[in-house]
């Protein structure tokens, strides 16, 4: 969680941080689904 917080703190804007955060979560979910198959 701290790594994510640091990543978001380094973004240029909150909107950009949220966008990257959603993309990060989406990619994590895709990887989890891939390992479950």
DSSP the chain: -HHHHHHHHTSSSHHHHHHHHHHHHHHHHHHHHHHH-
Range of the domain at 16: 2-36
If one counts the domains in the chain, the total is 1
Whole-number Å distance between alpha carbons of 2 and 7: 9
CA distance 32 to 21: 17
Q: Digits of tens for pLDDT over the chain (37 positions)?
A: 688 777 666 666 778 878 888 999 999 999 988 887 6
């Amino acid at each position: 969680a701290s790594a994510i917080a640091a990543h978001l703190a380094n973004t240029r804007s909150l909107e950009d941080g949220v966008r990257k955060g959603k993309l990060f979560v989406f990619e994590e979910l895709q990887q989890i689904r891939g390992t479950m198959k």
